[in-house]
Amino acid sequence: MANRNPATLALSALGDGTRRSIFERLTRGPAAVVDLARGLPVSRPAVSQHLKVLKQAGLVREVADGTRRIYHVDPRGVGALRDWLDQHWRGALAAFQHYADDINDKESSP
Amino acid sequence: MANRNPATLALSALGDGTRRSIFERLTRGPAAVVDLARGLPVSRPAVSQHLKVLKQAGLVREVADGTRRIYHVDPRGVGALRDWLDQHWRGALAAFQHYADDINDKESSP
DNA sequence: ACTTACCGTAAGCCATGGCTAACCGAAATC
DNA sequence: GATTTCGGTTAGCCATGGCTTACGGTAAGT
């Protein structure tokens, strides 16, 4: 069930509220784990675990800086998610257009 | 923790694999609950429950047709998700640019 | 009217996964 | 080298939520 394609991994990762908070925070600039844990209602290990998931999803990367690990968003992962959404966005519009046409046909035919 | 804003609801909803399958199926055209349950490894009531979540997230809507309920994607919900992603996409690019600049500074300064 | 098809909901089971506490290693500072 | 800071990992607890079974209700067909 758990597909390995990037968009699927990204969506599963962002399905959790705490991970969304971390991700949104990182879109405003890189941060260390300690900094992320501050301002979140969960412990630091919890943040580490979430970062691991976000990393496996291709949404973030980290760079060592002394004992600190500076996390930043990975545009490639976000791009994959963007592609997935654009693709289904077009499909949604097309499907909705067909649906609207069918409604019009049904209303105007009798 | 569970925000009520449309993008948050949509992301939470699409975090589940079965719901993603249902949503992706509906982007290729409207379908009744029975049709959706066929081709999925879960029961029909499970599909109904997933559709309820997708509906509350603003991603789908349904139209009664006799005893059948024809579900179709709701472009507005998808649009909200698209806006959220575009916003953070820009943030990600800007943050990544700053990060790249910092790396260059660190490498060229000593 | 009876039957059939379609669907939403309630109750309950159980696996998933998010969380904390505790531990350990690595790097910087003194 | 001792201390401090930072962070990944493990073990285990427990709430969340996804699933099935069973039921009731509505609309179409005969």
Q: DSSP letter string over A33-50? A: HHHHHTTSSS-HHHHHHH
Three-class secondary structure of residue B107 per DSSP: helix
Q: With bands split at pLDDT 50, 70 and 90, how would you rate the model's confidence at B104?
A: low
Centre a 10 Å sphere on the Cβ of residue A25 and count the other Cβ atoms it contains. Answer: 17
**In chain A, which residues have their Cβ closer than 8 Å to the Cβ of B73?**
91-92, 95-96
Mean pLDDT in chain B?
A: 86
B94 and A25 Cβ atoms separated by less than 8 Å = no
Percent of residues, chain A, with pLDDT higher than 70 = 82
Note whether residue A53 is domain-resident: yes
Closest residue to C20 by CA to C1' distance?
Answer: A43
Q: Which nucleotide shows the minimum CA-to-C1' distance to residue B41?
A: D19
Note whether residue B1 is domain-resident: no
Q: What is the pLDDT of residue A39?
A: 86
**DSSP state, B39?**
T
**How far does the CA of A84 sit from the C1' of C25, in Å?**
40
Q: What is the pLDDT of residue A58?
A: 95
Over residues B16-45, mean pLDDT: 96
Tokens found for residue A44 = 């630091």
Q: Is the CB of residue A63 inside 7 Å of nucleic acid strand C?
A: no
Into how many domains does chain B fold? Answer: 1
Over residues B68-91, mean pLDDT: 91
Q: Where residue A102 sits, what CATH number does that domain have?
A: 1.10.10.10
- CA–CA distance, B40 with B44 (Å, rounded to integer): 9
- CA–CA distance, A50 with A31 (Å, rounded to integer): 14
Query: Under an 8 A CB cutoff, do B24 and A82 touch?
Result: no
Tokens found for residue A37 = 């844990």
Which strands make up the sheet holding B31-32, listed edge to edge? B31-32, B68-73, B60-65
Query: Which domain range does residue A80 map to?
Result: 6-108
Q: Which helix (H) or strand (E) holds B67?
A: none
Note whether residue A21 is domain-resident: yes
Three-class secondary structure of residue A15 per DSSP: coil
Instruction: Using CB atoms, pick whichever of A15, A73, A78 lies closest to residue B14.
Output: A15
**How far does the CA of B67 sit from the C1' of C26, in Å?**
65
- CA–CA distance, A16 with B15 (Å, rounded to integer): 8
A82-88 long-range contacts, CB within 8 A, separation 24+: A82/B85, A82/B86, A82/B89, A83/A7, A84/A7, A84/A10, A84/A11, A85/B78, A85/B81, A85/B82, A85/B85, A86/B82, A88/B23, A88/B24, A88/B27, A88/B78
Q: What is the pLDDT of residue B29?
A: 92
Q: With bands split at pLDDT 50, 70 and 90, how would you rate the model's confidence at B100?
A: low
Q: Which residues of chain A have a pLDDT value below 50? A: 1, 106-110
Note whether residue A1 is domain-resident: no
